Amino acid sequence: MKPVIMFVTEWCPYCKKALAWMDDIKKQNPEYADIEIKIIDEELQPDIAKQYTYYYVPTYYVDGVKIHEGATSKNIVNKVFQMALK
């Protein structure tokens, strides 16, 4: 299983939706329950955020590779989880 890093901000409405979809998808798909997801608030952890190249949140990295950046959908979140399992 590959690690997932997600960059967010507290005030981002797209981040809030993505986090809710992540919980929902994990409840519906038990195989995703063990995926390690490190959620980094770029405003609280700028030293970590500056090590990555992105402009918009939410942004997902799977095993160090950027998978998605910006407003997301439930399908995109599901794709991130699928890539983490490979």
Task: Please tell me the predicted confidence (pLDDT) of residue 18.
Answer: 97
The per-residue pLDDT for range 27-62, each reduced to its tens digit, is 999 999 899 999 999 999 999 999 999 999 999 999
- Please, what is the average pLDDT of the chain? 96
Nearest to 8 by CA among 75, 78, 69: 69
User: What is each CA distance from 14 to 9, 21, 72, 78, in whole angstroms?
Assistant: 9, 10, 7, 15
Identify the structural domains of the chain with CATH numbers, from first to last.
4-85 (3.40.30.10)
Task: Please tell me the predicted confidence (pLDDT) of residue 52.
Answer: 97
pTM to 2 decimal places:
0.93
| Residue recorded with tokens 């794709």 | 79
